[in-house]
């Protein structure tokens, strides 16, 4: 089972490398295609919006497809879309490639996560999901910094061709090692709509939206911030992203254990407090300690950001699976939508902050997102008796 999950994690590694390396190569793309950094940031916004809208639609359209077949098709399409991106002659074609990348990623990641959650015992779901997300965190440790350096020496297009190679390797592993996984039970449209109307589900999704909005208000423009405010070289940006990945790998493991063993709401409260303070600190150091002498503080901030931010996904997804285990595919696809709507909102509002205030304002912007998430979590915490009562209610009938 572990061998099967590793190949799925390699697929998310490829997807994470492509998605997160934009932060490091954004200034290079802007210079080469003769567009502003804020406009280039819309490549992130576009990807996120397409992913957010398509994830639940694809979940419905492919509900009865064999899981292995769907994963094979999705990772193949992702690899081909990277080739399109690497060959894009202008900004429009690069934007089109990001749409194709988003569609294929939206088919792969929720399917891989749902597969991991359903093929293990319930008490191991958090750790299984964390294995899939290890691909994302390892992409920050290895893929994103290397991608930034490759882009510096061979051009940003080379990074997309490299990711296409990773996708091909993941495809080979899935073909050989992943066993046939039964298609999930058919879920009626009424059951899906009932999930969308559930207040407890909507609260969890709103928390995902706000938290990821804050993270990507910074993540999208982080490379540009380091270069323009702190005078960092591309190698320094790669080093910062490497630290974020190290923190993220540790946070992912902590989140997986927390999802199985700890009180989720208390854990998430600590995460959101940490992110709020951390992001505000990034704006403070940008204003009061610009230049190379502020980089040490930035590196510390980035490591904490990775640790706290990447402990969030596994806890959230296990919360969703527990709400309705038989409808995990539906709830996880909705969570992916909330995640990427948050990503789009964070990238778009971050661009507005840059245009109308300064690039140093992205830390304040992100902190406000996290503060709103914290307020929502605290306002919707239920007493143990109330939580037990809700948990005892029957799930929507999937028939």
Select from 272, 239, 279 the least CA-distant residue to 361.
279
Give the least confident one: 120-134, 218-232, 299-313: 120-134
Q: pLDDT for 147-191, tens place per residue?
A: 878 888 888 899 999 999 999 999 998 888 777 766 666 565 566
pLDDT of 328 > 50? The answer is: yes
Of 84 and 40, the structure prediction assigns the larger pLDDT to 84
DSSP 178: P
Of 110 and 207, the structure prediction assigns the larger pLDDT to 207
Give yes or no for a contact between 63 and 189, defined as CB atoms under 8 angstroms apart: no
State the average pLDDT over residues 366-391. Answer: 74
pLDDT band at 277 (very low <50, low <70, confident <90, very high): very high
Model pLDDT, residue 368: 95
| DSSP string of 114-147, one letter each residue | HHHHHSS-GGGHHHHHHHHHHHHHHIIIIIHHHH
pLDDT of 104 > 90? The answer is: yes
DSSP-derived 3-state class of residue 351: helix
Select from 269, 293, 297, 267 the least CA-distant residue to 282.
297
Residue range 2-391, CATH number: 1.20.1250.20
pLDDT of 59 > 90? The answer is: no
Model pLDDT, residue 80: 96
pLDDT of 363 > 70? The answer is: yes
Model pLDDT, residue 348: 86
Candidate ranges 122-136, 243-257, 273-287; pick with highest mean pLDDT:
273-287
Model pTM? 0.71
316, two tokens: 């959230």
Q: pLDDT for 338-350, tens place per residue?
A: 888 888 889 889 8
CA–CA gap between residue 143 and residue 140 (Å, rounded)? 6
Model pLDDT, residue 73: 95
CA–CA gap between residue 63 and residue 205 (Å, rounded)? 21
Model pLDDT, residue 388: 41
Model pLDDT, residue 177: 78
Alpha helices by DSSP H, the chain: 2-20, 22-33, 37-61, 67-86, 91-118, 125-138, 144-154, 156-177, 189-197, 199-219, 222-230, 234-261, 264-288, 295-309, 312-323, 328-356, 362-379, 384-391
Percentage of the chain surpassing pLDDT 70? 87
Give the end-to-end CA distance of the chain in Å, rounded to a whole number: 29
Select from 187, 184, 182 the least CA-distant residue to 399.
187
CA–CA gap between residue 169 and residue 163 (Å, rounded)? 10
Where in the chain are the domains? Answer: 2-391
Give yes or no for a contact between 317 and 332, defined as CB atoms under 8 angstroms apart: yes
244, two tokens: 């974020």
């Amino acid at each position: 089972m572990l061998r099967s999950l590793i190949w799925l994690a390699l697929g998310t590694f490829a997807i994470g490398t492509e998605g997160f390396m934009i932060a490091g190569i954004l200034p290079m793309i802007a210079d080469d295609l003769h567009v502003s950094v804020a406009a280039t940031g819309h490549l992130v916004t576009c990807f996120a919006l397409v992913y957010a809208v398509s994830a639940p639609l694809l979940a419905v359209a492919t509900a009865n497809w064999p899981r292995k077949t769907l994963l094979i098709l999705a990772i193949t399409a992702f690899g081909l879309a990277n080739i399109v991106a690497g060959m894009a002659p202008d900004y429009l074609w690069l934007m089109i490639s990001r749409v194709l990348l988003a569609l294929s990623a939206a088919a792969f990641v929720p399917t891989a996560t749902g597969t991991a959650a359903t093929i293990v015992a319930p008490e191991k779901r958090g750790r299984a999901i964390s294995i899939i997300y290890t691909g994302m965190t390892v992409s920050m440790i290895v893929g994103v910094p290397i991608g930034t350096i490759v882009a510096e020496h061979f051009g940003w297009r080379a990074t997309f061709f490299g990711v296409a190679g990773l996708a091909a390797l993941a495809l080979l592993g899935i073909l050989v090692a992943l066993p046939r996984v039964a298609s999930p039970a058919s879920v009626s449209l009424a059951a899906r709509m009932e999930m969308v109307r559930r207040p407890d589900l909507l609260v969890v999704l709103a928390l995902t939206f706000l938290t990821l909005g804050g993270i990507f208000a910074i993540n999208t423009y982080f490379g540009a911030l380091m270069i323009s405010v702190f005078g960092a070289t591309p190698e320094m940006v790669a080093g910062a992203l490497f630290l974020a990945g190290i923190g993220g790998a540790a946070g992912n493991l902590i989140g997986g254990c927390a999802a199985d063993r700890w009180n989720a709401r208390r854990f998430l409260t600590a995460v959101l407090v940490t992110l709020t303070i951390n992001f505000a600190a990034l704006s403070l150091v940008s204003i009061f300690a610009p230049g190379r002498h502020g980089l040490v503080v930035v590196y510390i901030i980035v490591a904490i950001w990775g640790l706290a931010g990447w402990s969030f996904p596994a806890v959230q997804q296990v919360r969703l699976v527990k709400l309705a285990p038989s409808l995990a595919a539906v709830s996880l696809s909705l969570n992916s939508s909330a995640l990427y709507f948050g990503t789009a909102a964070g990238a778009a509002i971050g661009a507005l902050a840059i245009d109308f205030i300064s690039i140093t304002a992205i830390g304040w912007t992100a902190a406000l997102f996290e503060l709103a998430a914290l307020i929502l979590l605290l306002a919707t915490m239920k007493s143990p008796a109330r939580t037990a009562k809700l948990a005892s209610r029957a799930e929507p009938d999937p028939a």
